[in-house]
Structure formats: structure tokens, C-alpha cells
Structure 1
Amino acid sequence: MIDFEEYYLDLAEANANPDAPTNWKQLYASAKKEYGLKSLAPSEWNDLINRMKTDDTTFKAYINTFQLIDFEEYYLDLAEANANPDAPTNWKQLYASAKKEYGLKSLAPSEWNDLINRMKTDDNMFNSYI
């Protein structure tokens, strides 16, 4: 396992003090010491400060409001990775834009709610999501 650190941003704190410097907080210092990781992610993506830059195509957010603009999704075929443990990690892109993939105008909660309602009647949309 590649070791990495993970940080998070308290959005309530950031929104309450928009003129203050960004205060990233360390979630943990070593992934090897953690038992319940939230997800698999390439180690170079765990620098959340770099993710906030709007020219980063993996994760885009407005710097002043921290509102998400869009994100890409990648996955790791664990069967393939386990079958070839000495091979380089082969991350594959699932989609380049969440907004395009799911027909969202924005990443606002209301858009995700509309997506859920569409999935109730559109099996293809539901199956593409899961």
C-alpha cells in the first residue's frame, strides 16, 4: 500500500471567514495506520490544496465560495491489480465530467435530487450510476 496523508477543509469555517487564509486540517498522517479508508485514490490526488485550483481537471471548485464546479471519476480494477501486483497501478477514467455524465446543470444538491428522481423511472440512468 502506498502511504499518504489526507486533509479536509471545514466548509462551515471557511464560509464563516471568507477572507481568512484557507485552513486545511489533517484527517490522518498515515494511511497505513488507518483501518477504514473512505475510498481508494491515487496518492498524488491526496494533496487537496492542489485540487482546489480551477485548472485541475480532477476536481474543480470556486476558490472564494468552495462551490464544486465539476469532477472526474477514476476507478481501479482490483482483480486486474491483484493478478499483476508488480505492474504499475492502472487507474482508468470512468467519466471526465460528472455534469455531462448525469446531465446536471450544476453540482448543487437540487440537481442531485433531480437525478435521483430521474433514476426512479430511468433504469439506464440508474444502472450507469451504480
Structure 2
Amino acid sequence: TVKDAETYYGNVTEANINNKPPIWRLEYNTRQFYNMSDFSPQSWSDLSDRLWKDKNLFRGFIKHYYRNDFNNECYIDERCRRKFVCEMKKARSYDESFCASLN
């Protein structure tokens, strides 16, 4: 059972300039950032609901998805937000019934 998840990043350019291994820095802790008590299916379902309702939370999700790239405008495009949340909600790739609740 997965209890926690963290995402780290390293600056390869910096490492190459200094001729040293990259320094790994914590980008985010999944449970903390998304305020999840665990990684159960219900917790992920709850997160997808919150991502649909909370535009600021979704913006953070997009920031993490695109590795800190805020040039992506998905976070302000409702169709894009619907696509991401729908993909999280549906159990089968061809089943759009879960997406009907996104209003």
C-alpha cells in the first residue's frame, strides 16, 4: 500500500556547469498539497471533485502536471479542466458516464 508520494526535481544545467550530480529538491508532497488523508480510491475520487470545484487547486495540479510550467493555459480553460478531471473520474477509457456530473 502506498502511504505517501513526493516529487523531486533536479537542475541538470546547474549540475553540468558545476560538473557535479544534480541537487534533488522537493517539489511537492502529494498528500499534503492535495490535503488527502490516504491514497484510497475514495480519496482520489474526492480529489477529482475538488479539482473540478476549486480553480486554485486545479491550477496547482496543472503546475505539477507540467513540471512547474505556468506557460500552459489549461488552468483557465474550462474544457481543458473538464478533460483532466474526467480522465481522473472515469474507470474505463471509453466510459464517459462519470463525466456527466461535471457541471
* TM-score where L is the length of structure 1: 0.40
When you count strand as a share of all residues, which structure comes out higher? 1
* TM-score where L is the length of structure 2: 0.49
Max Rg structure: 1
